[in-house]
């Protein structure tokens, strides 16, 4: 997109210095997911600080009562007019008294229906105009508008309070799976929303859409898979906009209210791991996009992965920050990646503020696949996650574990972050869950430091031939084509994230299994396009173990056939279930965005059973992001094994306080002030990778003085 020469603005000594500082009155509320429209997860509150954080105690807890086996709760709650708005593991919206945690109201989009499988939601959006105060959120394929005071659906919005997100995408609505796990952003009288869609084919297109906050009427659409005549159309096959999907902004967005710009980051095109039917770079997949918030018109974009076949979605919203160049403050956009890179752009023009180099990458040896010849690498900041899994990095936890990992590593392909998928298997490092992940980054406008947690887990991506359809469609046949790539042909799955389906009939009825297949669960999209007969045939096969032919053969049951699929989401673990790579397995990082240098890096999290044997500071998988405050603190939960909630010195990473949560805090904390008392609250939902589930919000504050 740009002629990327050496940086025009040299990183000279900051003299004379334009002083940093937070404008008076800003960043004292938490009215938006991520803290504010700029999504920097920063608070100017400083009642809780380095000197007194050790005195934090539980101020209140609220148990939603909605936890169930494997459920999660990833919500970053918002605070408005003394009320905390949040979601539960079953996707109820709740309003709590922010000072006491007492329930004010609850809205249940399930309308009494039993909830099956994981339902992921990271928060709600809010808009007000005088007494008209509304909360917006998405459950399944509906966008709801609720009265903030009562929790009742706003009858004048859409169809009696909701809008069907399946409408207006150019595909049969009844065949589409679409939802949104991250809340939309508000600009004036618009709610701008991304989506979560299937990562396999068929898939809905991940268009970015703006709705009228009052009526629910669609005001504009940005085609992330361009239509004929639109910018980027030539980066896809001629008719791809009719059949391809993905390129969706699932992680959330940020808004520059003064400039009238909305910034979105997008994921990969479907199918994630094999793109023979989408030759080309595939704009606007894997892109940071600046749009005019009023109209949806593209202003600029940057694509970080061309023709993605590694599931390298942008995992978090762009952060709108201010950096120093030649002693002057420059408004910028920062984007973290799953691969552990940080891209920094000038906000209005999209010009990189650090050099970006396009390097040759290996071609694919898989039939039909044509990969991009080069990919972009930022020269600064350095990656915050390791990039290549070599034999020198293999675990040394035990000699037996090391040898087992070496034996397996020597049987698969390993290289850099763009090692092509293969039939033998290729190492993806860092893995499908990052590097950076959906918890996002926090930015401190006082110091120019950017904070992000990171996973450092190797995964193995292996392509396999798509099972052939023989005879008329049947339950077993459909299972092999639509389910086996994750759950395996033997139903064994890759537990705990992709569960085994062996004896699934002991847990669910045939009807309940059909509901899960139709609606989706966790990573699994819904398969509505299979129609009632196809869904029931798969469910019957899973319960009975027998094949069952469909009454009528329907070609639409096998749309967009591809030669290859993948054999599941496989972490590279040692025989005892620990990561194959040497620690750290998870880190917390601080990067100086003025200089592009890493300020500090520490391991984040532990395995309690290893710590008990003296193996400490290993780091662990972590999901959910940091919160930085003017009190000199960085708060983070995230770690899935030790269930800790921590406060660290934001300047050094030194641990100042920690406590155990009832379940892992796989969410980003929020902070707010009520009647002169500062609270920090986090959702303790657990449920990641087999960890115990929970459904409790926990708020901390300093003990009241008598």
Q: 350 in a domain, yes or no?
A: yes
State the Cα angle at 538 between 534 and 542, rounded to 5°.
170
Number of domains in the chain: 2
State the CATH number of the domain containing residue 493.
1.10.760.10
Q: Which pLDDT belongs to residue 472?
A: 63
User: Would you say residue 477 has pLDDT above 90?
Assistant: no
Say yes or no: 541 and 635 in one domain.
no
Give the domain range for residue 519: 467-561
| Residue 418 and residue 375 in contact, taking contact as beta carbons nearer than 8 Å | yes
pLDDT for the residue numbered 496: 65
Residue 489 pLDDT > 80 = no
Do 375 and 300 belong to one domain?
yes
The yes-or-no verdict on residue 184 having pLDDT over 60 is yes
pLDDT (average), residues 418-429: 96
Could you tell me if residue 254 is inside a domain? Answer: yes
Asked if the model's pLDDT at residue 373 lies above 50, the reply is yes
75: nearest Cα among 193, 186, 184, 181? 181
Average pLDDT on 381-388 reads 97
Same-domain status, 235 and 375: yes
Same domain, 533 and 453: no
Place of tokens 């298997």: 425
For range 135-142, the mean pLDDT: 96
In this prediction, residue 614 has a pLDDT band, given cuts at 50, 70 and 90, of: very high
Please, which residues bridge with residue 456 across strands?
Answer: none
DSSP element (H, E) containing 512: helix 510-519
pLDDT value at position 7?
37
Q: How much is the pLDDT for 4?
A: 34
Asked if residue 76 is part of any domain, the answer here is yes
Say whether pLDDT at 227 is over 90: yes
Q: Are residues 221 and 352 in the same domain?
A: yes
Looking at the structure, tell me whether residues 476 and 451 fall in a common domain.
no
Cα-flanking dihedrals φ and ψ of residue 290, to 5°? -100, 125
Residue 275 lies in a domain: yes
Percent pLDDT > 70 in the chain is 93
Are 226 and 252 found together in one domain? Answer: yes
Mean pLDDT of 36-55: 98
CB contact set of 549 (below 8 Å; sequence gap of 6+):
472, 473, 474, 475, 537
**Would residue 154 count as lying in a domain?**
yes
Question: What does the pLDDT read at residue 537?
Answer: 76
On the question of pLDDT at 6 being above 70, the answer is no
Question: In Å, how far are 340, 458, 565, 586, 656 from 433, measured between CA atoms?
Answer: 11, 10, 19, 11, 28
Same domain, 474 and 588: no
Report pLDDT digits (tens) over 192-212: 999 999 998 889 999 999 999
pLDDT tens-digit series, residues 529-585: 777 777 777 877 777 777 766 645 444 444 456 889 888 889 999 999 999 999 999
What pLDDT sits at residue 1? Answer: 36
Q: Across the chain, what does the average pLDDT equal?
A: 91
Question: Is 32 inside any structural domain?
Answer: no
Instruction: Return the pLDDT at 233.
Output: 98
Q: Domain check: are 208 and 321 in the same one?
A: yes
Residue 18 included in any domain? no
ω into residue 3 within 30 of 0, thus cis? no
Residues 96 and 238 in one domain: yes
Same domain, 443 and 536: no
Centre a 10 Å sphere on the Cβ of residue 129 and count the other Cβ atoms it contains.
10
Taking the model in full, what pTM does it have? 0.92
**572 inside domain:** no
Please say which residue of 498, 528, 561 terminates a domain.
Answer: 561
Instruction: For the chain, give the percent of residues with pLDDT over 90.
Output: 78
**Residue 149 belongs to a domain with what CATH number?**
2.140.10.10
Based on the fold, state whether residues 125 and 271 are members of the same structural domain.
yes
DSSP β-bridge partners for residue 142? 139, 164
């Amino acid at each position: 997109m740009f002629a990327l020469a050496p940086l025009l603005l040299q990183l000279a000594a900051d003299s004379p210095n334009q002083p940093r500082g937070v404008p008076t009155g800003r960043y004292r509320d938490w009215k938006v997911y991520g803290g504010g429209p700029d999504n920097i997860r920063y608070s100017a509150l400083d009642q809780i600080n380095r000197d007194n954080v050790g005195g934090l105690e539980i101020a209140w807890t609220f148990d939603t009562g909605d936890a169930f086996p494997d459920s999660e709760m990833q919500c970053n709650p918002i605070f408005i007019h003394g009320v905390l708005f949040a979601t539960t593991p079953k996707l109820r919206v709740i309003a709590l008294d922010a000072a006491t945690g007492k329930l004010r109201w609850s809205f249940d989009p399930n309308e009494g229906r039993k909830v099956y499988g994981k339902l992921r939601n990271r928060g709600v959006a809010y808009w007000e105009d005088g007494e008209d105060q509304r909360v917006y959120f998405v459950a399944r394929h509906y966008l709801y508008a609720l009265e903030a005071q009562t929790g009742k659906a706003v009858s004048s919005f859409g169809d009696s309070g909701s809008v069907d997100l399946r409408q207006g995408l150019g595909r049969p609505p009844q065949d589409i799976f679409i939802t949104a796990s991250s809340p939309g952003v508000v600009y004036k009288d618009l709610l701008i929303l991304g989506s979560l869609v299937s990562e396999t084919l068929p898939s809905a297109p991940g268009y970015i859409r703006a709705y009228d906050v009052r009526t629910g009427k669609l005001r504009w659409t940005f085609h992330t898979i361009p239509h004929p005549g639109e910018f980027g159309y030539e980066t896809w096959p001629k008719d791809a906009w009719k059949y391809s999907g993905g390129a969706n902004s699932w992680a959330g967005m940020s808004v520059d209210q003064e400039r009238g710009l909305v910034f979105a980051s997008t994921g990969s095109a479907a199918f994630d791991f094999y793109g023979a039917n989408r030759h080309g770079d595939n704009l606007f997949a894997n892109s940071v996009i600046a749009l005019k918030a009023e109209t949806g018109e593209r202003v600029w974009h940057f694509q970080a992965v061309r023709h993605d076949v590694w599931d390298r979605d942008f995992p978090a919203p762009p952060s709108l920050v201010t950096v120093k160049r030649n002693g002057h403050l420059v408004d910028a956009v920062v984007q973290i990646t799953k691969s552990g890179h940080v891209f920094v752009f000038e906000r209005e023009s999209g010009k990189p503020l650090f050099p970006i180099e396009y390097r040759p990458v290996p071609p694919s040896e898989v039939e039909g696949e044509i990969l991009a010849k080069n990919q972009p690498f930022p020269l600064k900041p350095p990656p915050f996650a390791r990039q290549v899994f070599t034999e020198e990095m293999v675990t040394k936890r035990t000699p037996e574990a090391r040898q087992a990992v070496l034996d397996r590593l020597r049987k698969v392909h390993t290289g850099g972050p763009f090692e092509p998928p293969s039939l033998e298997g290729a190492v993806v490092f860092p893995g499908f869950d990052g590097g950076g992940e959906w918890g996002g980054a926090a930015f401190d406008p006082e110091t120019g430091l950017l904070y992000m947690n990171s996973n450092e887990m190797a995964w193995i991506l292996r392509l396999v031939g798509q099972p052939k359809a023989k005879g008329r469609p049947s339950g077993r046949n459909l299972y092999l084509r639509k389910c086996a790539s994750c759950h395996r042909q033997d139903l064994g799955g890759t537990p705990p994230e992709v569960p085994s389906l062996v004896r699934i009939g002991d847990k669910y009825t045939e009807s309940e299994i059909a509901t899960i297949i139709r609606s989706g669960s966790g990573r699994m999209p819904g398969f509505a396009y299979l129609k009632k007969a196809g869904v029931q045939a798969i469910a019957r096969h899973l319960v009975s173990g027998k094949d069952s032919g469909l009454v009528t053969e329907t070609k639409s049951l096998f749309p967009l056939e591809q030669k290859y699929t993948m054999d599941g989401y496989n972490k590279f673990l040692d025989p005892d279930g620990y990561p194959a790579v040497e620690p750290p397995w998870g880190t917390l990082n601080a990067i100086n965005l003025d200089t592009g240098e890493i300020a500090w890096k520490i391991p984040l999290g532990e395995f309690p059973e290893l710590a008990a044997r003296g193996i400490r500071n290993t780091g662990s998988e972590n999901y959910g992001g940091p919160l930085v405050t003017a009190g000199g603190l960085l708060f983070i939960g995230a770690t899935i094994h030790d269930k800790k909630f921590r406060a660290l010195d934001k300047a050094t990473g030194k641990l100042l306080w920690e406590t155990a949560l009832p379940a892992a805090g796989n969410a980003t904390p929020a902070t707010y002030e009520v009647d002169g008392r500062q609270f920090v609250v986090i959702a303790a939902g657990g449920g990641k990778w087999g960890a115990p589930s929970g459904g409790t919000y926990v708020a901390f504050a300093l003990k009241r003085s008598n």
